[in-house]
Amino acid sequence: MPATAGAPFLLRSAAPQLARLGLRAAAAPLLRAALPTTTQRCGARSPAPIAPSYARCFSSSPAPALPASAETQSYRFNHTMIRIKDPKKSLDFYENVLGMTLLDEHDAGDFKLFFLGYQHQEGKSRGEREALLELTWNKGTEDKADFKYHNGNDEPQGFGHLAIAVDDVAEAEKRFDSLGVNFKKRTTDGKMRHIAFILDPDNYWIEIVPAKKSNI
């Protein structure tokens, strides 16, 4: 794989990268199986065998965007949905901790939907907006003491996290602390010091990323 412009780095082995992201080392064999045993080091002119380290060259430079086809140019990422146990706790978190606005809700009898987003797209209909969050409440779950949803990060892993961009992650951390928010990872933890992870009332992970910098 040829080196490209930007800030290339080497994935020396699966386990350290997984640990860097807070993932289990048990997932390393799956990643190894997906990687070739021969690839090209950053700056190398020809492929060189690198097993068993599985080094691979990556770059932070974005790939050139492909032009949208006529069929897909109007497509947009509209929303993602997570299930919640208690709407009072969840709405308080997403509105008052993360600053979202409740844009719409729909009561379907035995369940209720809440659509939240940021007002950067004010004036657009729900269907025209992008990156909304849909909270689905199956009524009665809030009264069940032992009830909880799978957050995607416990075994078996699946869904990972939501992400919110902020101007200053450190200042956001201070604010979250003052509000009693639970953390999964602070900027002082691990090697990725520019991000943090907080937990919502159902223990879904929320990644807090800097709006003007990303070196992932």
**Active-site residue, from 95, 105, 142, 207:** 207
Residue 128, annotated ligand binder? Answer: no
Q: What contacts 97, CB < 8 A, 6 or more positions away? A: 176, 179, 181
Q: Report yes or no: 74 and 127 within 8 Å, Cβ to Cβ.
A: no
Q: Report yes or no: 17 and 188 within 8 Å, Cβ to Cβ.
A: no
Is 105 assigned a catalytic role? no
Handedness of CA 10, 166, 196, 115 (dihedral sign): negative
Residue 173, annotated ligand binder? Answer: no
Q: What contacts 32, CB < 8 A, 6 or more positions away? A: 14, 54
User: Which tokens is 45 given?
Assistant: 């002119």
Q: Cα separation of 113 and 201, whole Å?
A: 17
Residue 161, annotated ligand binder? Answer: yes
CA neighbor of 103 nearest in space, from 91, 87, 115, 89:
115
Q: What contacts 121, CB < 8 A, 6 or more positions away? A: 128, 129, 130
Number of H helices and number of E strands within the chain?
4, 12
Residues assigned a catalytic role: 207
Annotated binding site: 134, 161, 207
Summarize the annotated binding site for Zn(2+) as residue ranges. Answer: 134, 161, 207
